[in-house]
Amino acid sequence: MKLQSYAEGEWYQSSESGQVLRHAITGADIAEISSDGLDFQAMADYARRTGGPALRRYTFHQRALMLKYLAKYLMERKELFYECSKATGATRTDSWIDIEGGITTLFIYSGKGRREMPNSHVMPDGEQEQISRTGAFTAQHIYTPLQGVAVQINAFNFPCWGMLEKLAPTVLAGMPTIVKPASQTAFLTELMIRHIIESNILPEGSLQLICGSTGDLLDHMDYQDTVSFTGSAQTGLKLKQHPAIVQNNTRFFMEADSLNCSILGSDVQPGSAEFELYIKEVTREMTVKAGQKCTAIRRAIVPKDRIHAVAEALSARLAKTTVGDPDQEGVRMGALAGLGQRTDVLAQVQKLAAENEIIFGSMSEVDVLGASAESGAFMSPVLLYCNNPQHTAAVHNVEAFGPVSTLIPYEDDEEAIALAAMGKGSLAGSVITADPQVARTLVLGAAPHHGRILVLNETCAKESTGHGSPLPHLIHGGPGRAGGGEELGGIRGVKHYMQRTALQGSPDMLSAITDTWLQGATRNTDGIHPFRKTFSQLEIGDALITDKRTITLEDIEAFAELSGDKFYAHMDKAAAQRNPFFEDRVAHGYFLVSLAAGLFVDPEEGPVLANYGLDHLRFAAPVYAGDELQVQFTCKQKVNRETEDYGEVRWDTTIVNQEGNVVANYDVLTLVAK
């Protein structure tokens, strides 16, 4: 089989013979890969001219729905991907992380996009900034999608997840993508992209695929383009310095290798629940995906006097890891992705073994179940011991991208932190302890060197997602050697593909641009109560200025009686006056919120279906008996729910007193029928 690229809306097969790809388990030839003959500049232009505009015609929510439909479509076909994934050497569990983990990332981004982004073409960033005396001149930051192409260059170990975790934020942002999978496992990425294209869910031009070299693609990168690279630090550094990327300030995101550590807290003794957790976690990280995970634990940092116990327990557990063809019953660890990878890993183990002692496993021997140890890319898990970690370089510098980890002793917390930092920047770290103070010391010391840290104890172990699993909600990336990148992290990950712009101008102008009513903008009080308008009839700025209501002491007492809130400042004049903030018995803040509803609600049945909460509630000034209050109630933002017959309406609610001073301000959140 010759792998094909998907360029300018068509499948393309190079006429040249290319690199031969082999089955990780059997060693049989399975595919050839070459991108010779592709016009890379034309691909980039096609993405920018066709894919970008087509995607950006949709709103954030409409694109989020595409992700959901795509996820469903792929999930229905997942067995095809599992079958193909066997050739990468993966067990069913390994493939699950790659295939269903990747598809789930689409689902999660779809949900987050619809919950946390507006259903619009522009996304406000943060709150309005008050920058003038009267408010006639104001400011608001916004995000808009970049207009170039998002190129993703991926590592071989996650052919599906690696592609989908980058596709989700780019689609949501509104940028077209060119995917370049690592050659070794590109057959699985190609299969999945074939199904994505067949689904017709993404608009034309929004997704292209290069199977093989990227040719001169990077020469054509511009400042509206992005390149997100996952792979070794060496390749990443080379690409980051590409002249076009440097000259044009192309956004370059790098997720590189890292020598992640897991620290066993000084409080944890053999026999405790946390000790068992540590042994499980390190073993799992060494053997899942045959250790081919950028987040895997490469350095197990353990109190010096417990090294022996940990070494023994780990060795016993690793001895139970059956290696072989994942189709065979009882096999726990499959093969590396290819013989080339095995050669690389063994060469790295050799470097590690020059300074450290191998205490479990072997570089040359492995018992393989159901397959040939010669033809398949199998290797035994290898555990090393580093005797002198402060003065040994390899353990903190050499990444063996396989089932390999090194035990490192430490004397005290300070040394554990120093050793963690010697990895010079990591994607993920973990601290396993039952003591919150130990956790705090280690985490605060190690956090500046990490993108993510798992703090594991017995309480959270059952539901823990583990040291090595990046989650769409959380940042994936890390400083220094890890590449300095930050992908995923929920909507943070989407913002990489958008430009942030500070807007300054009059409130009316900025309201019109941002689809959000801003303080100081015109209120439309046309005499029709806004609760009588349907979602489609409502416009941003539609407002109600309510009747006035004077607060009495009886009101305060009645509210105290009804709610049971008899805090002294509401009930006792002398005590209230001793309080530095009040001059008299003060009205309950929650009473103000309630009476405001009494002023702005239109009681008859109508399009407003429900009030589902408040945001940003602030009590700005005290209210006393005798004060006269009035509410300014303004339609601030509308979020059309694409698949429902209602939308969400956010109302700016400002309560003012007889002097025109704001006493409370918040957003009321309602559901309104279309």
The answer to whether 149 and 121 are in contact (CB under 8 A) is no
Separation between Cα atoms, residue 332 and residue 228, nearest integer Å: 32
**Which span (66-74, 108-116, 151-159, 355-363) binds ligand NAP, by CB under 6 A?**
151-159
Separation between Cα atoms, residue 537 and residue 607, nearest integer Å: 10
DSSP conformation letters of 172-204: HHT--EEEE--GGGHHHHHHHHHHHHHHT-SPT
**Which span (124-132, 148-156, 275-283, 582-590) binds ligand NAP, by CB under 6 A?**
148-156
**Least gap, CB of 45 to ligand NAP (angstroms):** 19
Give rounded-to-5 percent helix, strand, coil for the chain: 40, 25, 35
**Which span (152-160, 584-592, 619-627, 641-649) binds ligand NAP, by CB under 6 A?**
152-160
Residues 460 to 479 in contact with ligand NAP, rule: CB under 6 A: none
**Which span (39-47, 147-155, 454-462, 542-550) binds ligand NAP, by CB under 6 A?**
147-155
Which C-beta is closer to ligand NAP: that of 481 or that of 638?
481
Q: Is 178 in the site for ligand NAP (CB under 6 A)?
A: no
Q: Is 18 in the site for ligand NAP (CB under 6 A)?
A: no
Q: Is 190 in the site for ligand NAP (CB under 6 A)?
A: no
CA-based end-to-end distance of the chain: 53
**Which span (255-263, 417-425, 535-543, 648-656) binds ligand NAP, by CB under 6 A?**
255-263
Active-site entry in 261, 294, 386, 635:
294
Q: Is 490 in the site for ligand NAP (CB under 6 A)?
A: no
Tokens 């590109």 sit at which residue? 186
Reply yes or no on whether 274 is catalytic: no
DSSP H helices in 568-625 = 568-571, 573-578, 589-600
Active-site entry in 165, 190, 255, 274:
255
SS3 157: coil
Q: Is 250 in the site for ligand NAP (CB under 6 A)?
A: no
**Which span (129-137, 225-233, 386-394, 552-560) binds ligand NAP, by CB under 6 A?**
225-233
**Least gap, CB of 150 to ligand NAP (angstroms):** 15
Which of 399, 486, 515, 648 lies at the binding interface for ligand NAP (CB under 6 A)? Answer: 399
The residue nearest ligand NAP at its CB is 231
Which C-beta is closer to ligand NAP: that of 234 or that of 388?
234
**Least gap, CB of 673 to ligand NAP (angstroms):** 45
Separation between Cα atoms, residue 152 and residue 207, nearest integer Å: 11
Which 8-state DSSP code applies to residue 630?
A: E
Which C-beta is closer to ligand NAP: that of 231 or that of 493?
231
DSSP conformation letters of 49-61: IIIHHHHHTS-HH
**Overall residue count recorded for the chain in this entry:** 674
Instruction: Strand 138-145: give its sheet, edge to edge.
Output: 123-130, 138-145, 498-505
* CA angle 234–495–229, rounded 5-degree value: 15
Reply yes or no on whether 294 is catalytic: yes
Tokens 């941003």 sit at which residue? 540
Binding mask 35-74 for ligand NAP (x = CB under 6 A): ----------------------------------------
Which C-beta is closer to ligand NAP: that of 250 or that of 657?
250
Tokens of 182: 């690592």
Q: How far is CA 21 from CA 25, 55, 320, in A?
A: 12, 34, 31
Q: Which of 322, 364, 327 minimizes the C-alpha distance to 342?
A: 364
The answer to whether 654 and 662 are in contact (CB under 8 A) is yes
Q: Is 192 in the site for ligand NAP (CB under 6 A)?
A: no
Which of 256, 290, 386, 629 lies at the binding interface for ligand NAP (CB under 6 A)? Answer: 256
Q: Is 262 in the site for ligand NAP (CB under 6 A)?
A: no
Which of 4, 88, 183, 208 lies at the binding interface for ligand NAP (CB under 6 A)? Answer: 183
Separation between Cα atoms, residue 306 and residue 416, nearest integer Å: 14
Which C-beta is closer to ligand NAP: that of 242 or that of 549?
242
**Which span (180-188, 535-543, 556-564, 665-673) binds ligand NAP, by CB under 6 A?**
180-188
Which of 235, 348, 499, 546 lies at the binding interface for ligand NAP (CB under 6 A)? Answer: 235
Q: Is 182 in the site for ligand NAP (CB under 6 A)?
A: yes
Tokens of 387: 């005797």
Separation between Cα atoms, residue 148 and residue 174, nearest integer Å: 10
Q: Which residues contact 631 (CB under 8 A, 6 or more apart)?
A: 544, 545, 546, 596, 599, 600, 653, 654, 655, 656
Q: Is 397 in the site for ligand NAP (CB under 6 A)?
A: no
Which C-beta is closer to ligand NAP: that of 479 or that of 483?
483
Residues 288 to 307 in contact with ligand NAP, rule: CB under 6 A: 294
Which of 14, 35, 140, 154 lies at the binding interface for ligand NAP (CB under 6 A)? Answer: 154
Q: Which of 487, 503, 490, 472 minimizes the C-alpha distance to 144?
A: 503
Which of 427, 540, 551, 595 lies at the binding interface for ligand NAP (CB under 6 A)? Answer: 427
Strand 177-180 relative to strand 150-153, pairing? parallel
Which of 190, 255, 542, 648 lies at the binding interface for ligand NAP (CB under 6 A)? Answer: 255
Q: Which of 7, 39, 4 minimizes the C-alpha distance to 18?
A: 4
Which of 257, 281, 542, 627 lies at the binding interface for ligand NAP (CB under 6 A)? Answer: 257
Which of 59, 85, 88, 157 lies at the binding interface for ligand NAP (CB under 6 A)? Answer: 157
Q: Which residues lie near ligand NAP (CB under 6 A)?
A: 153-157, 180, 182-184, 214, 230-232, 235, 239, 255-257, 294, 399, 401, 427, 483
Mind telling me the catalytic residues?
255, 294
